[in-house]
Amino acid sequence: MPPSIYRIENLVHRYNRQPVLTVDRLDIEPASIVGLVGPNGSGKSTLLKLMAFILRPSEGRILFDGLPAAPFDDSVRFQVTLLTQEPYLMKRTVFNNIVYGLKVRGDRGRWRQPVRDSLAMVGLDPDAFVRRQWDELSGGEAQRVALAARLVLKPRVLLLDEPTASVDARSSELIRNASLRARSDWGTTLVIASHDREWLYDVCDDVLHLFRGKPAGTGRSNMIFGPWVPRAGDRFGKLIGDGSYLDVSAPPGEGATAFIDPAAIRILAKGEVTVSADTVTVDGRVTRLSLERQSGDLFADVRVGPLTLVVRVAESHLAAMTLHRGWPVTLAYRPDSIRWR
């Protein structure tokens, strides 16, 4: 088996002596597409910069292809490219922006066709765009030119930080397609940080959650923040409007965050009443149904007051319910299935 393209061991990163990221162990397989999700400040951009070798970890090490990688060393840095959150275009034409990385890497080949190919890959007509100046582009076009400038390198690793943050649905779709093509055409490994969970789950093989600077599990997960209010018995709850609550087990502290596995929540079939004393229910409305590419599992997003909960719809339950966008549903779960952090 080839080594992981990245292996992170005992990594701590600090800014001004404050630890912001701690990763005991993380492996990323070649040609995988891995998502990073987490609240603001959870360390996603820091992790991407460390993986791009433009930051040096305060402690620990990053193996690249099984070998310890020296930050700032061109031999690894040139295999990896990072599209930052606010990509910067130089005050030049689109063509010159795109070939810049090739020049830096000492590529003296013919650039015309690769530039045209990379523009086409992000859905920009090469004839209309190669000669444009940097300031003759919309925000979404600039974002896609910046991505084209990374794709032209045919990188082994493409790191994307919030690639869809300021673009419309069509551009998001094009960025998704370009990411999938980079993997299938060149075996590129992608690591993508995004707040757009649905987009991310659609593109990625797996999604890593970061929470307060630490990995907090993989896959689809519901992360729910307090405040938590005492309820009857030993229950607590989160007020979700109109005097209704999302009930939880006793939180370990005031600022604790609840994680509910989508597979631990059930949509009750029509007419079904609950179940057992240790199960609670909450009403919501289906806002989206999606099929996970890798597993073939069906997921429903259910709006519950201000929250959206992701629920895995078990195949055995599918026949017993009709699910449509906009339909009211009742969710049932056991508060003791909640994990706290």
* 3-class DSSP string for 222-244: EEEECCCEECCCCCEEEECCCCC
Total residue length of the chain: 341
192 contributes a contact to ligand ATP by CB under 6 A? no
> Which one among 8, 11, 20, 98 touches ligand ATP, defined by CB under 6 A?
20
- Write the CA distances from 43 to 47, 49, 89, integer angstroms: 6, 10, 25
- Chain-centroid distance of CA 191 in Å reads 8
Q: Which two tokens stand for residue 231?
A: 């309820």
Type and span of the H or E element at 200: helix 197-203
Judged by CB under 6 A, which stretch of 36-44, 152-160, 226-234, 263-271 contacts ligand ATP?
36-44
In DSSP terms, which residues pair with 158 in a beta bridge? 81, 190
79 contributes a contact to ligand ATP by CB under 6 A? no
215 contributes a contact to ligand ATP by CB under 6 A? no
87 contributes a contact to ligand ATP by CB under 6 A? no
8 A C-beta contact, residue 326 and residue 332: no
Say which residue the tokens 């444009």 belong to.
132
> Residue 39 phi/psi, 5° resolution?
-65, 170
> Which one among 4, 34, 35, 42 touches ligand ATP, defined by CB under 6 A?
42
44 contributes a contact to ligand ATP by CB under 6 A? yes
38 contributes a contact to ligand ATP by CB under 6 A? yes
CB of 84 to ligand ATP, least distance (A): 10
Type and span of the H or E element at 154: none
Q: Which two tokens stand for residue 84?
A: 């930052």
CA distance 175 to 148: 10
CB of 47 to ligand ATP, least distance (A): 7
Judged by CB under 6 A, which stretch of 37-45, 60-68, 257-265, 270-278 contacts ligand ATP?
37-45
CB of 82 to ligand ATP, least distance (A): 12
Residues 153-172 touching ligand ATP, rule: CB under 6 A, are none
In this complex, which beta carbon is closest to ligand ATP, that of residue 210 or of residue 329? 210
> Which one among 45, 81, 164, 222 touches ligand ATP, defined by CB under 6 A?
45
75 contributes a contact to ligand ATP by CB under 6 A? no
Interface residues toward ligand ATP, by CB under 6 A: 15-16, 20, 38, 40-46
